[in-house]
């Protein structure tokens, strides 16, 4: 009986854990099918929004990687960072280069792969406040 219960727990763990896609087009360990990202649109140029994103992530944690995703144009920039043992991914994309509308997507996962929607929402708000300065 104990063996069956243990096997069932292992099966549940394997089903719930897995790889999830990040907003920067990479993969990470995590619990799938959970909302973990927040989006915001601003009427500002891509460079301004990206600088504000880097500043906010550095104020709350540390930026580990900045890059332009390999399958996109220069109208998309991404960064990864760490926040209280968790991971942050930020994607900044120019929606319409003619009118400077830029979309930022913030994704936060905990150390164990769970979603941290509150932290993602807080960081997205801080980016908006940084742009207002």
- Sequence spans of domains, the chain: 18-132
* pTM reported for the whole predicted model: 0.81
Per residue in 2-12, pLDDT (tens digit) is: 788 877 776 66
Q: Judging by beta carbons within 10 Å of its beta carbon (0-12, 13-18, 19+), is residue 44 exposed, middle or buried?
A: middle
**Which stretch of DSSP H or E encloses residue 4?**
helix 2-16
For residue 130, pLDDT over 80 is answered with yes
Is domain 18-132 classified as CATH 3.30.310? Answer: yes
| pLDDT at position 13 | 62
For residue 26, pLDDT over 70 is answered with yes
Average pLDDT, the chain: 85
Q: Which of 86-95, 108-117, 119-128 has the lowest mean pLDDT?
A: 108-117
């Amino acid at each position: 009986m104990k063996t069956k219960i243990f096997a069932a727990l292992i099966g549940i763990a394997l089903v719930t854990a897995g790889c999830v896609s990040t907003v920067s087009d990479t993969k990470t360990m995590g619990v799938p099918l959970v909302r973990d990202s927040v989006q915001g649109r601003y009427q500002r140029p891509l460079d301004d929004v990206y600088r504000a994103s880097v500043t906010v992530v550095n104020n709350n944690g540390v930026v580990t990687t900045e890059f332009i995703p390999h399958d996109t144009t220069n109208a998309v920039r991404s960064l990864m960072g760490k926040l209280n043992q968790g991971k942050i991914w930020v994607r900044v994309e120019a929606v319409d280069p003619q009118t400077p509308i830029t979309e930022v997507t913030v994704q936060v996962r905990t150390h164990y792969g769970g979603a941290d929607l509150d932290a993602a929402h807080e960081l997205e708000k801080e980016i908006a406040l940084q742009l207002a300065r």
